[in-house]
Chains A and B, each alone.
Chain A
Amino acid sequence: MDKKIRVLIAKPGLDGHDRGAKVIARGLRDAGMEVIYLGLRLTPEQIADAAIQEDVDVVGLSCLSGAHMALFPKTIDLIRHKGGKDILVIGGGIIPKKDIPKLMEVGMARVFGPGTPLAEIVKFIEDSVGGQRQ
């Protein structure tokens, strides 16, 4: 096996709903990934910097406050700008359906809504990152 997939989980903005982010961090860890849980109340800059410094394969962003359209694209943009060209960025939270195509357009690989089984997220990451490494 090659090296473990490295994942950064973070909550941009002021939203404090961290149940989903924490459950996913733990689920990915149990699935054999190396997970850094960066916590909450972070700026897009802080998340992008950490993603680069920690040399992660995946960044998972969570937002339930409705600020995702202001925060997700900016975070993705900064990650790309700082050199994280190939980092897979995924998101979750209370994301209205109509926002998803716009997020995909700016480079979010997938948005996982409420009710997503952990296994689905694990599989998506493994398929995407695995494919990239070949």
Chain B
Amino acid sequence: MTEKKMTERKLEFRTTVDGLVVKRVYGPADAEGATEEALGLPGEYPFTRHIMPTGYRGRLWTMRQYAGFGTVEETNERFKYLYQQGQTGFSVAFHLPTQEGYDSDHPLAAGEVGRCGVAVDSLQDVERLWDGIPLADVSTSMTINATAPILLAMYIAAAEKQGADRSKLNGTVQNDVLKEYIARNTYIFGPKPSMRLVTDLCAFCAENMPQWNSISISGYHMREAGATAAQEAAFTLANGIAYVQAMIDRGMEVDSFAPRFSFFFAAYTNILEEVAKFRALRRSWARIMKERFGATSPRSMMLRYHVQTDGFTLTAQQPLNNIVRVTLQALAAVLGGCQSLHTNSFDEALALPSEQAVQVALRTQQIIAEESGVADTVDPLGGSYYVEWLTNQLEAKIMEYIAEIDNMGGALKAIEKGYVQREIANSAYDYQRAVDAGDLIIVGVNKYATTEEQLPETLEIGEETERRQIERLRKLKNERDSRRVDEALERVLEVAKSEENIMPAVIDAVKAYATVGEISDALRKAFGEYREPSIV
């Protein structure tokens, strides 16, 4: 069937940057691949439509706003505010020194303290961070990777001090170091020791914390760094395969850990493409787990994931327009079937979000949940000829990339070769050129631009935060039992050099009030540090 020549707005319509040509109209023939077997019912293999039979009719997604800035007291206040406003889960943003294993008084931490997250140096900070929030009753996600064992240890210790049982704690640590070498860049150690720490943590959780998500395999940051939807999906699953394999290589049985593996993706403004991505992801992962790894528990096959609306699409120009972008992106996440969602604030291309901007972001989710009706039926776009066609196309692209990475010897090898980084850098550059050429339109930036500025009130982090944090750290170091600290750090180093699981020694060290920087230094002594190869 050929399309009749008629004048259209463009010579060719394409999906955002994956380059698939979009037809004028789709029909039953395009959705032929969407058989009953390929779709399944919601809650049934291959989970294309949703992981739960009831979708959001049973329980809404968790509304989880990523937050953290300044000192632990300031962030504790923001957490309580968000909770009062109806947020249903917590998500901690740590400042960069904590993420990269430096204390606040390290020369490299100068200027970074409390800036893009909350300053945490020791267990004392974590105890204060959660002051008045019962950790036994809440669900907490922590964006922490290279230092994940340390921050999880601090969370466990703080929770136990509150009287909570570690086996009942709910939450997630990101603990996904592979993507740090590709994007985001908060690695400390090289890939091999890093994989050991990742799997130590996963194995510890499998045995001790049955309700804790031991990893959140993340595509979000790769997308932010420039990956297309297909690349985001494929590279994330390829990393997931590497983690599953590494756990199996440790001698663990797949169904003993895979149910606690979780994922994290971005949602862009192109709603239909994003919905297709999420559906293709669920199906691909279910098939990989069943066919490649022989998982038998359905829970091992379920792709459970958090979504964040995409930060890169926020514009500094006409910032109120971002509220609309975030709404469309959040809608894509919900129509796609996410388990948890963060909506960005409209002022984030300018600064850390203000309280007002954060409230609008949370309200956006609440309006979608309570007013839009899209949560009333499961996978409402399922059966759309176009969405089913796009789902199949994306799944094919994902599998093509995974086959290519398999040929290179897996995700770790592909990263060491710079293949994944290069693919993403190319996409980022293509994107920028398309925007500069006007082939991709960004409203308020390369079309409908205005000269007058609308500047919202933004949040400022004062310089006294750094001074206060360093002062606090000095006081702690004077007051703690330094012999106990030295012994605990010695033990961390010893375990790091052995094949024992690192977690118990790290938990003992944080309980002795050893700091993030000190424990990281002990690990640096054992593992050395990583320098990135330059890939532009």
Which residues of A line the B interface, CB within 8 A? 13-19, 22-23, 25-27, 29, 35, 37, 39-41, 43, 64-71, 94, 96-97, 113-115, 117-119
A70 and B111 contacting across the interface, CB-CB below 8 Å = yes
Q: Does B501 sit within 8 A of A, measured CB to CB?
A: no
Report the 3 A-B pairs with minimum CB-CB distance, sorted nearest first.
A70-B111, A16-B185, A67-B111
Q: Which residues of chain B in 106-131 are interfacial with respect to chain A, using CB atoms and an 8 Å cutoff?
A: 107-112, 115-116
Contact between B109 and A66, CB atoms less than 8 A apart: no
CA distance A125 to B291 in the complex (A): 55
Interface pair A25/B536, CB less than 8 Å apart? yes
The minimal Cβ–Cβ distance linking A125 to chain B, given in whole angstroms, is: 16
User: Which residues of B (83-117) have their CB < 8 Å from a CB of A?
Assistant: 96-97, 99-100, 102, 107-112, 115-116
**What would be 13 A-B contacts, judged by CB atoms less than 8 Å apart?**
A14-B97, A18-B225, A19-B224, A19-B428, A22-B428, A23-B428, A26-B425, A64-B116, A65-B116, A67-B115, A94-B351, A96-B350, A117-B446
**Nearest Cβ on chain B to A31's Cβ, whole angstroms:** 12
What is the CB-to-nearest-CB distance from B53 to chain A, in angstroms, rounded to a whole number?
Answer: 40
Q: What's the least CB distance linking A13 to chain B, in Å? A: 6
Instruction: Determine the chain A residues whose CB is within 8 A of the CB of B186 once the complex forms.
Output: 14, 16
Closest to B224 in A: A19
In the complex, chain B residues whose CB is within 8 Å of the CB of A13: 96, 108, 111-112
Please state if B352 and A66 are interface contacts (CB–CB under 8 Å).
yes
Tell me whether A14 and B96 are in contact in the complex, defined as CB-CB below 8 angstroms, given that A40-B532, A115-B315 are known contacts. Answer: yes
Q: Are B436 and A117 in contact (CB under 8 A)?
A: yes
The residue on B at minimum CB distance from A69 is: B111
A64, B115: Cα distance in complex, Å: 10
Q: State whether A113 touches B316 (Cβ < 8 A).
A: yes
Instruction: Output the least CB separation between B39 and chain A (Å).
Output: 36
Binary per-residue interface labels of chain B (239-260) against chain A in the complex, 1 for a CB within 8 Å, 0 otherwise = 0000000000000000000000
Indicate whether B26 reaches chain A with its CB closer than 8 angstroms. no
B351 and A96 form a contact (CB under 8 A):
yes
Q: Is the CB of B110 within 8 A of A66?
A: no
When chains A and B are docked, how far (Å) is the Cα of A25 from the Cα of B425?
11
Asked if A115 and B534 make an inter-chain contact with CB atoms under 8 angstroms apart, the answer reads no
Please measure, in the bound complex, the distance between the C-alpha atom of A15 and the C-alpha atom of B115, giving whole angstroms.
Answer: 10
Q: A14-B97, A65-B112 are in contact. Are A26 and B536 (CB under 8 A)?
A: yes
Please determine whether B316 and A115 come into contact, CB atoms closer than 8 angstroms. yes
Residues of B within 8 A of A25 (CB): 536
B368 within 8 Å of A (CB atoms): no
Tell me which residues across on chain A come within 8 A of B107, comparing CB atoms: 43
Q: Which residues of B contact A23 (CB under 8 A)?
A: 226, 428-429, 432
Report the minimum CB–CB distance from B30 to chain A (whole Å): 34
Q: Is the CB of B185 within 8 A of A18?
A: yes
Residue from A15, A19, A39, A43 in contact with B96 in the complex, judged by beta carbons closer than 8 Å: A15
Considering the chains assembled together, what is the distance between the CA atoms of A97 and B184 in angstroms? 25
User: Does B461 count as interface, using CB distance less than 8 angstroms?
Assistant: yes
Task: Determine whether the beta carbon of A115 is less than 8 Å from that of B317.
Answer: yes
A residues near B433, Cβ cutoff 8 Å:
118
A133 to chain B, nearest CB (A): 26
Q: How far is the CA of A18 from the CA of B315 in the complex (A)?
A: 17
B442 on interface, CB distance cutoff 8 Å = yes
Q: Does B349 sit within 8 A of A, measured CB to CB?
A: yes
Q: Which residues of A contact B180 (CB under 8 A)?
A: 16
Q: Judge whether B108 and A43 touch: CB under 8 Å.
A: yes
Chain A residues lying within 8 Å of B432, measured Cβ to Cβ, are: 23, 27, 118
B312 within 8 A of A: yes
CA distance A37 to B462 in the complex (A): 31
Among candidates A22, A35, A113, A118, residue contacting B425 with C-beta atoms closer than 8 Å: A22
Cα(A29)–Cα(B186), bound, Å: 27
Interface residues in B180-232 by Cβ distance below 8 A to A read: 180, 183-186, 224-226
Kindly list chain B residues whose C-beta atoms are within 8 Å of the C-beta of A14: 96-97, 99-100, 102, 108-109, 112, 186
Alpha-carbon gap, A105 to B186, bound state (A): 32
Given A69-B111, A94-B350, A115-B445, A19 and B225 touching (CB < 8 A)? Answer: yes
**Can you name the residue of chain B whose Cβ is closest to the Cβ of A71?**
B111
CB distance from B457 to the nearest CB of A (A): 11
Considering only residues 307-352 of chain B, those with a C-beta below 8 Å from chain A are: 312, 314-317, 349-352
Cα-based distance from A25 to B536 in the complex (angstroms): 7
Which residue of A17, A19, A27, A118 has the most chain B CB atoms within 10 A of its CB atom?
A19
Q: How far is the CB of A98 from chain B (nearest CB, A)?
A: 9
Decide yes or no whether B458 CB sits under 8 A from chain A.
yes
Contact across chains for B536 and A119 when beta carbons are under 8 A apart: no
For window 131-179 of chain B, which residues contact chain A by CB distance below 8 Å?
none
Q: Which single residue of chain A is at the shortest CB-CB distance from B102?
A: A14
Q: Which of A16, A37, A65, A119 contacts B534 (CB 8 A)?
A: A37
Docked pose: A27 CA to B183 CA in angstroms: 19
Asked if B349 contacts A94 (CB within 8 A), the reply is: yes
Contact, CB under 8 Å: B446 / A65: no
CB neighbours (8 Å) of A96 from chain B are 350-351, 458, 460
Q: How far is the CA of A67 from the CA of B435 in the complex (A)?
A: 28
Q: Mark B355-376, 1 if CB is under 8 A from A, else 0.
A: 0000000000000000000000
Contact (Cβ within 8 A) A16 B349: no
Q: Which residues of B contact A115 (CB under 8 A)?
A: 315-317, 442, 445-446
Interface flag for B441 (CB, 8 Å): no
User: Which residue, B97, B102, B112, B315, has most C-beta atoms of chain A within 10 A?
Assistant: B112
0/1 string, B480-520, CB within 8 A of A gives 1: 00000000000000000000000000000000000000000
B116–A66 touching, CB < 8 Å: yes
Q: Are B534 and A39 within 8 A (Cβ)?
A: yes
Within 8 A of A (CB), among B423-469: 425, 428-429, 432-433, 435-436, 442, 445-446, 453, 455, 458, 460-461
